[in-house]
Chains A and B, each alone.
Chain A
Amino acid sequence: GENVEQHPSTLSVQEGDSAVIKCTYSDSASNYFPWYKQELGKRPQLIIDIRSNVGEKKDQRIAVTLNKTAKHFSLHITETQPEDSAVYFCAASQTGANNLFFGTGTRLTVIP
């Protein structure tokens, strides 16, 4: 089955700086890569996703890049704010699949 690895496990940045979280996946058939944000005690929420037919997708301060050849994808958050502090999970899935394979999460702390 698919194996998703995520790094780093913790990340601290100063407010206004950028944050980058990286994930690798093992199954070349995976073609859908969502990112979820989970604040303490709350539900995981989808913040951005990318499909394998594009290399980059951006939504305001958040962007995701995908390198299918290397089987890795990354989340980029620019101009970080304290409310960006949360645990971020990457995931991978295939066309026709019924489940997502998640990474182990990155705890992002934005220091005011």
Chain B
Amino acid sequence: DTGVSQDPRHKITKRGQNVTFRCDPISEHNRLYWYRQTLGQGPEFLTYFQNEAQLEKSRLLSDRFSAERPKGSFSTLEIQRTEQGDSAMYLCASSRGLANYGYTFGSGTRLTVV
């Protein structure tokens, strides 16, 4: 499968715990994006990488959130000290060019904080 892969698909964690998600983009895509989707809402932009450089971060990305893409391939999104408001679907997407050339999304990681 040459699509965007995300792991895990589901994560249940207790409030205050740290969680880390992984995204493997399409191999020839140099741009990688993280979005958050809450129930009944459209995806909201969190952050963007071009190769290994994190070039843009949304104000939604509080200091408890950190994202990396160490070798310009896979990316990780870590949430520290999780809160119930962090419960959402975390979507990763990749693209060959700018946003206006279309994304390919992964299936997401659904986080539930209890």
A binds B: yes
Q: Which residues in A have their C-beta under 8 angstroms from that of B48?
A: 98-99
Considering the chains assembled together, what is the distance between the CA atoms of A6 and B42 in angstroms? 10
Tell me, yes or no, whether A96 is within 8 Å of chain B by CB: yes
Query: How many contacting A-B pairs (Cβ < 8 A)?
Result: 64
Count residues on chain B whose CB falls below 8 Å from chain A CBs. 24
Contact of A105 among B4, B42, B44, B107 (CB under 8 A): B42
Instruction: Name the interface residues of B97-112: CB closer than 8 Å to any CB of A.
Output: 98-100, 102-108
Considering the chains assembled together, what is the distance between the CA atoms of A41 and B106 in angstroms? 11
Considering the chains assembled together, what is the distance between the CA atoms of A49 and B107 in angstroms? 21
- Please judge, given known A-B contacts A102-B44, A103-B42, A105-B41, whether A96 and B98 are in contact too, CB under 8 Å: yes
Cβ proximity bits B40-54 to A, threshold 8 Å, 1 near / 0 not: 111111001000000
Cβ proximity bits A40-71 to B, threshold 8 Å, 1 near / 0 not: 01111110010100000000000000000000
Q: Which residues in B have their C-beta under 8 angstroms from that of A104?
A: 40-42
Q: Is the beta-carbon distance between A51 and B100 smaller than 8 angstroms?
A: yes
Q: Which chain B residue lies CB-closest to A89?
A: B42
- Best-buried of B40, B41, B91, B103 by chain A (most CB within 10 Å): B103
Q: Is the beta-carbon distance between B105 and A100 smaller than 8 angstroms?
A: no
Contact of B99 among A32, A42, A51, A89 (CB under 8 A): A32
- Extra 5 A-B pairs, beta carbons < 8 Å, given A43-B105, A89-B42: A46-B103, A91-B42, A98-B33, A98-B99, A105-B41
